[in-house]
Amino acid sequence: MVYFRRYCRYRRNWRYKRAALNYRRRAYNYLRNYRRYVKYCRRSKRKSRRRTRRTSTYNARYCRYAQGQLRLYRRFMGYYRRYIRYFYRYRRHRNWRVRRRAYIYRRYAFRYRGRAYRYLRNYRRYIKYCRRSNFTVVSRGSSRTKKLSAKQCKTYAKKNRRSFRTGRWGSDPTGCYVCKTGWCRRRREYNKVFYNYRNTNRNCGTKGYYCVKKK
């Protein structure tokens, strides 16, 4: 139909008019074929949806691939921000060599952004094959609500490949918590998981300890 509209402008020329009519006739043939076979596409989509609901979608290989694509997306977006920051800083510099380098960096920034968006599309495509976690890390609020048991806390530590320790501490939050890197006071406890049996009034985030709770 685009070809028909394009050639229909030249109505006085009989060659263009004939070509436009031929294109319209072929377009209508394609439309009839589409209406004839589109019903089979709808049926196949419904069947595929039912199958995906019944079967599990977990795949360890695709899940690792999605996590790797997410890491690449973050890395290349960091490159993009670095180069585009340099461009906006030196695009109006007095020296023409610095200005030329700034525009070259802008070109590199757009390339990095394009690759980052490609990795993001791959991540969104394959993240459905990963298992959803039933735990969440909270930095605020009370440590008594949605508290995990010691067994669940140990499962969380084992799943994330972190060391686990239990005890009774009066100055720490209640239940399961993790020592956040950069916020925890003791460096030797970074990324370690603890479970406190004692009931305290300490909230999540005290001394850099983030609570692990149920979703």
Rounded distance between C-alpha atoms, residue 88 and residue 104, angstroms: 12
How does DSSP classify residue 1?
-
pLDDT band (50, 70, 90) for residue 45: very low
pLDDT band (50, 70, 90) for residue 9: low
- Please give the tally of structural domains in the chain: 3
Give which of 195, 193, 175, 196 is closest to 184, Cα–Cα: 193
Single pTM value for the model: 0.45
State whether 50 and 81 are in the same domain. no
Domain boundary, last residue among 114, 129, 144: 129
Domain boundary, last residue among 129, 146, 171: 129
Domain boundary, last residue among 98, 129, 160: 129
DSSP string, 131-197: PPPSEEEESSSBSSTTBPPHHHHHHHHHHTT--EEEE--TTS-SEEEEE-TTTSS-GGGTT-EEEE-
State whether 69 and 120 are in the same domain. yes
pLDDT band (50, 70, 90) for residue 14: low
State whether 187 and 140 are in the same domain. yes
Residue 156, pLDDT above cutoff 80 = yes
Q: Which residue has the higher pLDDT, 8 or 99?
A: 99
- Show the domain range for 38: 2-54
**Of the listed ranges 8-17, 27-36, 45-54, the one predicted with least confidence:** 45-54
32: left (phi over 0), alpha (psi -120 to 50) or beta: alpha
Non-local CB neighbours of 173 within 8 Å, separated by 6+ positions: 143, 196, 200, 202, 203, 204, 206, 209, 211
State whether 125 and 83 are in the same domain. yes
118: left (phi over 0), alpha (psi -120 to 50) or beta: alpha
Q: What is the pLDDT of residue 176?
A: 92
| pLDDT tens string 96-121 | 999 999 999 999 999 999 999 999 99
